[in-house]
Amino acid sequence: MIRITTSRQNQAALAAITAARARMLSAQEIAMSGQRVTKPSDDPAAAARARLLGELAARASSYRTTTTYGLARLQTAESALADAGNVLTRAREIATAMANGTMSASERSAAATEVEQLRRAMIDAINTRHGDEFVFADVATESPPYTDSVGFNYDVNTYATVRRAEVGPSQTAEVGASASVAFGQRAADPGSVDAVAQLDDLVNDLRTNNIDGVRADIDGVTLAFEQVLAERTRVGVRTEQLRRADEAASSSASVATRLKSELVDADAAQAFSNLTLAQNSMQAAVSVAARMLGPSLLDTL
């Protein structure tokens, strides 16, 4: 016959209370946090998969940060190119009107003053800022790409590309516009013209009452306009590419977050049901121990 000593009974009762308390605390943590896996020991396999999914979601969010910045930068560039197009449209209207032989020298001189203002507006468009950067700058984004006294502050033949950024797994996209391509005369494109220089020529021909020069300037300003329009079209294509990349990154982040949630999140109803059971189990363990140990020993727990 096996005898169960009082000491063993006490140990068993205390062990039952300790186990019940541990289960109740675990159930409380799950119910309050809403997560069934908060550390690897809770479910090693789920914790490992959740970590990988968290990294995927974070990477996708990083891509979205890049695409959001790129879209804003492209919108700024598109607005500046639209302004530049309006400037050149007005300059062409003036040149066409002043090419008429009935216009007087004084009228052409007055028109030259307006074209000079348009020229300054063109330089402002080239030097458009996005935040702390010049949107059309290539390498030195903190410096204006064009100054009145120097012209372009970099070699338009060397720096005609557009900044690229990573917007997805193994995917990059252009996140800006090129001042060289939009406004510059480049050796790689024999048909290109310097937009500001074309306005300069028109100003000078108007002031000197050079009718033949003004007529020739119409073609030059038209070329400049078409050049700006072509880059504006390319900006539209880049914008659409970035929007698609942003949608893909958003979808990827949502899927990864949902899958991670399915792995680690607890069902609310089940969590609170388990908590109630754990509390009842704790109360039962205490009741049994009270009969075995007596109130005096339980008071010390």
Q: What is the mean pLDDT of residues 211-229?
A: 97
For the domain bounded by 81-255, which CATH number is listed?
A: 1.20.1330.10
pLDDT over 70 (residue 229)? yes
pLDDT at position 23, please? 60
| More confident: 291 or 110 | 110
pLDDT over 50 (residue 30)? yes
pLDDT at position 26, please? 58
pLDDT over 80 (residue 28)? no
Least confident segment among 18-27, 92-101, 112-121, 169-178: 18-27
pLDDT at position 1, please? 44
> Helices 195-207 and 211-264 meet at what angle, rounded to 10?
150
Q: What is the pLDDT of residues 38-74, one digit of tens each?
A: 666 667 877 777 788 888 889 999 999 999 999 999 9
Q: What is the mean pLDDT of residues 22-34?
A: 55
Question: How much is the pTM?
Answer: 0.74
Q: What is the pLDDT of residues 194-215, one digit of tens each?
A: 999 999 999 999 999 999 999 9
pLDDT over 80 (residue 116)? yes
Query: What residue segments make up the domains of the chain, in order of their start?
Result: 81-255
pLDDT band (50, 70, 90) for residue 105: very high
Least confident segment among 53-67, 103-117, 186-200: 53-67
pLDDT at position 267, please? 47
> Helices 211-264 and 44-98 meet at what angle, rounded to 10?
170
pLDDT over 70 (residue 294)? no
DSSP string, 76-107: HHHHHHHHHHHHHHHHHHHHHHHTSTTS-HHH
For residue 54, count other CB atoms closer than 10 A to its CB: 14
Distance (Å, whole) CA 32 – CA 267: 12
pLDDT at position 2, please? 47
pLDDT at position 4, please? 52
Average pLDDT score over the chain:
82
Distance (Å, whole) CA 63 – CA 52: 17
Percent of the residues in the chain that have a pLDDT greater than 70, as a whole number = 70
- Are the beta carbons of 179 and 152 closer than 8 angstroms? yes
29, 169, 287 from 223: Cα distances, Å: 70, 39, 94
pLDDT at position 286, please? 63
pLDDT at position 51, please? 80
